[in-house]
Amino acid sequence: MNKYNLNNSYKAVVIGGSAGSFQGIVKILSQLPKNFPLPIIMCLHRLKHVRNGFVEALSIKSVVQVSEPYDKEPIKKGAVYLAPSNYHLSVELGNYFALSTEEMINNSRPAIDITLGTAAYVYRDKLIGILLSGANRDGGLGMKYIKDKGGLTLVQEPAECMIDTMPKAAMALTQIDHVMKVDEIVDFLKELDRQYK
Amino acid sequence: MVQDIDIADLKRITELIQKKHGYDFRNYAMSSFKRRMLRILELKSMSVEALIKKLTEQPTFIDEFLDELTVNVTEMFRDPSFWRILRDEIIPGIQLNHKEFKIWHAGCSSGEEVFSMAILLKEMGILDQVTTIATDLDVNILEKAKSGSYPIKNMELNEKNYIRYEGKKSLKDYYKEENGRAVFDKDLVKNVSFRKHDLVTGEIFNKFDLILCRNVMIYFNQSLQNDVLKKFHESLFKYGYLAIGSKESLIWCDIASKFIVVNNEEKVYKKIKD
């Protein structure tokens, strides 16, 4: 069964989220298939001056331990990464991360647009972008960059979002391939996983 | 990030700057370097061609260009837990060897860390025993650092960090408010020499007990990080300390074996081999 018409050419999944996305993220991570074949790179808005705790909270139920990458850390298949607090997280050509402390974008550091935009530049049409609930427009442009490079775009169904500004901003800026509830995103990732096994 | 810029154009610009002005950006991390260039083009409403023309024909434009290119976003007492470790463990460790010692702030930007350090030393009662050199390649930002004057709106965050650092006083005791700016007491930096120095092309110029270079090398690619770390290694006394950003690591660097980790959470290293 291939409901979403997927294949095994994808290289990475990026997820953006803000206010109201925590539960959705936890659900996705807790139901992730074992030995998921791709890196999952998450950029979530978070308290700027709380360095510890978030990654631990996400890891409790996650199938895979979540980690905050170091600058220039190589990106590994099957690993789950979270943008560290107070840094922008970029993907570099050569498949590794770079951090920066540049100005905030949309009042955010980490900014979802930066993570999604640099991932789109590196992975091009081999990237899947997922944008969840959130209270500002960050991530909308990032989703547009993904679509412009031929990647696949998913947003959480606005009706299910605690705050739908973020997915709606993306829908207004670019073509979204799938508008889905979190449960459907979980099914989508399971189907994706099957393409590689 | 609205428009994009070709790698070929970035190359043309970096080669021009290198030939004409002697700065070498070829080994900067590509993602952030590209964003900085796009930002400059947007700020100046310029095309790539116009920028190249201006860099070629107006020699003085380079300083303004460098000021925009380098990232100058910083805080006082950023990562308060780092500053606590510095006060409670690292500096007492240095004092076991040297009563009087030397600190290098490499890539000091607008000077927030220089002033943080001066306040820390003053509260330890050892400000007069320390010689500090603070360097940056951006001459405009060095002037700002020297002036110790920051927008008052930044002080809320700085004060919060200082409180979490558990300083002895209030940050307010160290500055006066003048025309919407917090102007810090100049006495704090009377033993600080602010100098222009480029980590990439600059020579080794002194030996230090402690080098702070936090969130600077993240703008370099790995090969350039290796080169700069070699310079830091050479610029440290044996058993001297190197502090880098909390999300930087020596793990992938050639020189890692000549250091030991003193504090992994705060990324403080100690030179153990020449």
Residue B213, judged by CB atoms within 10 A of its CB (0-12, 13-18, 19+), counts as buried
| Statement to judge: residues B148 and B26 lie in one domain | no
Q: Do B31 and A87 touch (CB under 8 A)?
A: no
Beta strands in A45-126 (DSSP E): 66-67, 80-82, 88-92, 96-100
Assess if residue B1 is contained within a domain: no
Phi, psi of A18 (to 5 degrees): -145, -135
Give the C-alpha separation, B119 to B117, whole Å.
Answer: 5
B120: which 2 tokens? 């820390």
| Statement to judge: residues B228 and B187 lie in one domain | yes
Q: Which residue of B has its CA nearest to A113?
A: B1
Give the C-alpha separation, A153 to A85, whole Å.
Answer: 25
* Domain final residue pick, B49, B69, B89: B69
| Statement to judge: residues B31 and B98 lie in one domain | no
* Domain final residue pick, B24, B40, B69: B69
A1: which 2 tokens? 């069964």
ipTM of the complex in this document: 0.93
Looking at A88, A133, A138, A164, which residue is catalytic? Answer: A138
| Statement to judge: residues B52 and B181 lie in one domain | no
Looking at residue A1, what is its pLDDT? 65
In chain B, how many domains are there?
Answer: 2
Give the SS3 label for residue A73. coil
CB-based contacts of A52: which residues, under 8 Å, 6+ apart? none
CB-based contacts of B194: which residues, under 8 Å, 6+ apart? B108, B111, B134, B135, B142, B145, B146
Q: Do A101 and B160 touch (CB under 8 A)?
A: no
| Statement to judge: residues B52 and B187 lie in one domain | no
CB contacts, 8 Å: A141 with chain B = 1
The answer to whether B136 and B104 are in contact (CB under 8 A) is no
| Owning domain of residue B119 | 80-271
- H/E element holding B102? strand B101-106
| Statement to judge: residues B39 and B116 lie in one domain | no
Give the residue carrying structure tokens 């989703």.
A143
Spell B220-246 as b/e; 16+ CB within 10 A means b.
bbbebbbebbebbbebbbeebbbbbbb
Looking at residue B103, what is its pLDDT? 98
Mutate to test the interface with B, among A48, A56, A73, A100 (most CBs of B within 10 A): A100
Four-residue CA torsion sign, A157, A162, A166, A169: positive
Phi, psi of A96 (to 5 degrees): -140, 170
| Statement to judge: residues B59 and B190 lie in one domain | no
- Contact of A100 with chain B, judged by CB distance below 8 Å, is answered with yes
Tally the C-alpha atoms within 13 A of residue B206's C-alpha that lie toward its C-beta.
18
Q: Which residue of A has its CA nearest to B29?
A: A98
| Statement to judge: residues B51 and B135 lie in one domain | no
- Round the CA-based radius of gyration of chain B to a whole number and report it: 19
Average pLDDT, chain A: 95
| Statement to judge: residues B133 and B191 lie in one domain | yes
Assess if residue B2 is contained within a domain: no
Q: Which residues, given as ranges, of chain A have pLDDT below 70?
A: 1
Distance from CA of A8 to the nearest CA of B (A): 27
A153: which 2 tokens? 């775009």
Distance from CA of A55 to the nearest CA of B (A): 14
At residue A10, what is the residue type?
Y
Looking at residue B3, what is its pLDDT? 64
B259: which 2 tokens? 């250091």
**A85 catalytic per annotation:** no
| Statement to judge: residues B129 and B51 lie in one domain | no
**Domain harbouring B186, CATH code:** 3.40.50.150
B244: which 2 tokens? 């880098």
The answer to whether B192 and B118 are in contact (CB under 8 A) is yes
Q: Which DSSP state fits A70?
A: P
* Domain final residue pick, B69, B91, B115: B69
| Statement to judge: residues B133 and B157 lie in one domain | yes
- Contact of A103 with chain B, judged by CB distance below 8 Å, is answered with yes
At residue B251, what is the residue type?
I
CB contacts, 8 Å: B81 with chain A = 51
pLDDT digits (tens), chain B, 274 positions: 446 899 999 999 999 999 999 999 999 999 999 999 999 999 999 999 999 999 999 989 999 999 999 999 899 999 999 999 999 999 999 999 899 999 999 999 999 999 999 999 999 999 999 999 999 999 999 999 999 999 999 999 999 999 999 999 999 999 999 999 999 999 999 999 999 999 999 999 999 999 999 999 999 999 999 999 999 999 999 999 999 999 999 988 889 999 999 999 999 999 999 9
| Statement to judge: residues B224 and B192 lie in one domain | yes
Q: Do A101 and B225 touch (CB under 8 A)?
A: no
Q: Do A72 and B252 touch (CB under 8 A)?
A: yes
Q: Do A98 and B74 touch (CB under 8 A)?
A: no
The answer to whether A12 and A128 are in contact (CB under 8 A) is yes
The answer to whether B30 and A170 are in contact (CB under 8 A) is no
Q: Which residues of B touch A (CB under 8 A)?
A: 1, 29-32, 35-36, 71, 73-74, 78-79, 81, 160-161, 164, 215, 217-219, 221-222, 225, 245-249, 251-252
What are the CA-CA distances from residue B185 to residues A156, B25, B176, B196, B253 (Å)?
Answer: 52, 35, 8, 22, 39
The per-residue pLDDT for range A30-41, each reduced to its tens digit, is: 999 999 999 999
Give the C-alpha separation, A194 to B236, whole Å.
Answer: 53
**Helix locations, B148-220, DSSP H:** 155-165
Looking at residue A86, what is its pLDDT? 93
Give all domains of chain A, ordered by start, each with its CATH number.
12-194 (3.40.50.180)
Q: Which DSSP state fits B256?
A: G
**A138 catalytic per annotation:** yes
Looking at residue B2, what is its pLDDT? 43
Q: Do A84 and B1 touch (CB under 8 A)?
A: no
Mutate to test the interface with B, among A48, A70, A87 (most CBs of B within 10 A): A70
